[in-house]
A and B are shown apart, each in its own frame.
Chain A
């Protein structure tokens, strides 16, 4: 089952005579590889919609359950909205992330992907990008539902809110995709992924919750909230860098 990664030697331009046409197609650039993987993931997800449907249905159920469990008044909604939304996003995200690498297990697609002539980082970044797009889609469908169920006019600070959600979701997906790759061969995959990911995500979720609560209620960002934006950015940068540096050790066996 273990297939060593095959690396194609780079085509040397100008050194070799052009008489022979290259046998293999030229290597795609890093970003082309990334987008190819991301596009492949998105297309296969859009055809089956299995993770997307599950994730969205699960998010809806949780939104409904929270509303029944707490019956929040307007003031209470103001207080809990950030935490509530990010818990929903984190739960919905776990379903998408679980499928991200598990989808490739059938027909040994994962081994083929790892053996493909591209770096592990490109594969990882492509998958992260696809997860980011999918989770963002779920989130932006959840927000209007949240607005209706909880009587909140959440669009008043739309762009700052979208920015915060993008930063938080990137942190969630970048850490989550590493762990998705890490847990893909485990029997208890569905259990281990959230158990490992959520504690590590605490700073990211905490910052996103602090920022989302006022923004959803239509209050502008204040100067004292700026530290949370900084924290989100720092978290995203550190973990993106670490993930790219470590992903080769996770995937190539």
Chain B
């Protein structure tokens, strides 16, 4: 049943993405000041939103784990965090490609870039911590606590880095409602398949987690004899 769901969702996502890609590449005109590269925003921004949704879901799931001690929620939190990390990486990479062409540099310590990077590193620590703990319930408890602390930190990091950067002369200002309404529409239209892609990855990753736990349990049973 779940296999079928994943398969159907994957195809649906692929079709939507292909359709959107055709519109983005063939139908939409170049943006006046940026030229063709501006199209990357239709991926860059939705993947950031998706990463954020994943981390939020991971926090909710972690709270649910601590409240009920059901390992299913732990699997979900782990899967959501890893998928969020993948989308966060996509956000950073597409941003860097865009920056290289428009700003002429791969990286700058701009507020949003820095916040995203710091958040990404915190969640990478979460994944490393999970790898370091072998006992499943202990791993679940510890990583749930880290997930909650990490998500509480996200808004504080965002504001602190924003203040920090605005105290310095800013070489580049990015954003600020420059987009035409048609572009906004496309942004949301492309968010749908990207969010669906995240769901597909999440389902696959969750199944891996559960299979891993089952194998682990079987191994313990064998060792018990």
Contacts and interface: CB of A to CB of B under 8 A. Distances in A.
Given A178-B145, A203-B160, A192 B150 contact: no
Contact of A250 (B142, B153, B161): B142
B145 A246 contact: yes
Contacts, number: 78
B160 A231 contact: yes
Contacts of A250: 141-142, 145
B152 interface: yes
B156 A192 contact: no
| Residue of B128, B129, B145, B159 contacting most chain A CB atoms (<10 Å) | B145
Contacts of A178: 145, 149
A249 interface: yes
A188 B153 contact: no
A242 B148 contact: yes
Interface size class of B (residues with CB under 8 A): 20 to 34
Contacts of A234: 156
B51 interface: no
B121 A231 contact: no
A227 interface: yes
A253 B140 CA distance: 11
B146 A182 contact: yes
B121 A227 contact: no
B159 A185 contact: no
A9 interface: no
A249 B66 contact: yes
A206 B161 contact: yes
Contact of B156 (A196, A203, A224): A203
A39 interface: no
23 contacts: A182-B129, A185-B133, A186-B132, A192-B128, A195-B125, A196-B122, A196-B146, A199-B121, A202-B157, A202-B161, A203-B153, A206-B160, A206-B164, A207-B160, A227-B163, A231-B159, A231-B163, A239-B152, A246-B145, A246-B149, A249-B144, A250-B142, A253-B138
Shortest 3 CB-CB contacts between residues of A and residues of B: A203-B160, A203-B156, A199-B122
Given A192-B132, A242-B152, 19 more contacts: A175-B149, A178-B145, A185-B138, A186-B133, A187-B132, A192-B129, A196-B122, A199-B125, A200-B122, A200-B153, A203-B157, A206-B160, A207-B160, A210-B167, A228-B163, A242-B149, A246-B66, A249-B66, A253-B137
